[in-house]
Copies of this chain bind each other. A is one copy, B any other.
Amino acid sequence: MPDSGKSDPSNPGPPPGEEEKITLEDALLELYRLRAMCDVSRAVAGTLDLDRLLNLIVAKTTDIMNADRSSLFLIDWDTEELWSKVAQGVRFMEIRFPMHLGLAGAVATTGETLNIPDAYEDERFNREFDKRTGYRTRSVLAVPMNNKAGERIGIMQVLNKKGDEEFTQEDEEILKSLAGQAAITVENSQLYEEQKKSFISFVETLATAMDARDPITAGHSKRVTDYSVAIAEELEYSEKQLEILNAAALMHDIGKIGVPEVVLFKDGKLDDEEYKIIQSHARHTLNILDKIHFDREKKEIPMMAASHHERIDGEGYPLGLSGEEIPEAGRILAIGDIFDAITSRRHYRDRMEFIRVMRVIDEESSSHIQLDFVEAFKHLPVSRIIMIMEQDNVEPVESEDLELFKKFTLNDLQELLERGDREESLTQDEQHLVDRFNFYYHRSISEGWVPD
């Protein structure tokens, strides 16, 4: 902050005559408000993350407006809804309702400011929210948010001015000013988020289209991605890290575009030469991704994606890295990749028995894939696994079964299968779990698969 105790003759003072009748008290008051506004501008300019931004604006607004609560709703013109995100612990929850509802809806629809001393005396007010939460809304000030092009993109409202006051004309001006600022930063943030969405949806769509060239690989990249993200969540990755892993995972087989289909989809035994050609896809992934511009935090994506066939013992490809030389994401991907490969349906044949699947995973642990990551994988609930495995099936997993699957980890399931295999008796509940799992695992895909 400038040291206002000094005066500098070369800096122009206030334009002559304009502020002459202002008292010191007025000036200090405005100075105080303006500082608060400047602080808000600065704070909200600091993030492009829409969830965080919305919550930050709301918190700052409540504070500066001397209100009890605030909200910011964005207009979804496609669905004619108002929506927002509110913090719910460490995650954010979306709220959505039809755009004409309540006082917020009136402002969204007409674009006019509403300043209501007592909401209960206004017939447009929707008491639903108060009824559900026990809150008592009194004064409401709601203003439209317009973007630079003058389009209405949302509304901001403040509730229950402190000290049981009504919101003043001056409050209206301040809130309008805040809404203008908010509109700019929200729109920047939306542009950024949309750009991110475009990128990841393009990657996912391409990977899906590539996988769909052969029934054996259909849906592979997306499932490997989801298994890998699930493991990473067990390993307590941050949201940012999950985002990066997600992108790398979706791209892991992109190098298959460099492998001729006649070899890639050959039905029958491959000779050594053909096997080498297929293995070259991992290096192609590296070469292709190396040509893509990634920002600093995503620079490792090419190596992450290309290392899904490396092995802990150094016997993998394309680089023959071992242990921690392999990017951690690559070590996670390897688990998802193997698991999906051995659980996928092969040319209308059934899947490998699940007990064998888990034995293969165990056999590969330590030599091929990393033991503690496999353990994290096995900590996942069966519900998570089945939802990924069956994601392209139009027949849903029954919610009753899903509840059941939530109570057992993959590890639990494996133990039950092994006990069954040793002909040890299972309780009725245990047997029920195994049966329901096997039902979904072995059900026919003939009718239930999502067409491309």
- Residues of chain A at the chain B interface (Cβ within 8 Å): 1-8, 10-14, 19, 21-35, 37-38, 41-42, 45-46, 48, 66, 148, 161-163, 165, 168-171, 173-174, 177, 180-181, 184-185, 188, 191-192, 194-199, 201-203, 205-206, 208-210, 212-213, 254, 257-258, 260-262, 284, 287-289, 291-295, 298, 452
Contact = CB atoms under 8 A, between A and B. Distances in A.
Contacts of A206: 206, 254, 257, 288
A444 to B, nearest CB: 26
B3 A170 contact: yes
A292 B173 contact: no
Contacts of A209: 254, 257-258, 284, 288
Q: Is the interface of A mostly helix, strand, loop or mixed?
A: helix
Given A3-B170, A257-B257, 15 more contacts: A5-B22, A8-B171, A11-B29, A12-B32, A31-B31, A34-B34, A42-B184, A46-B184, A48-B192, A192-B192, A194-B295, A198-B295, A205-B288, A208-B291, A209-B288
Contacts of A19: 28, 31
A27 B4 contact: yes
A140 B294 CA distance: 37
A31 B29 contact: no
Given A22-B4, A192-B195, A45 B45 contact: yes
Contact of A14 (B32, B171, B212): B32
B24 A4 contact: no
Nearest to A298: B198
Nearest to A287: B452
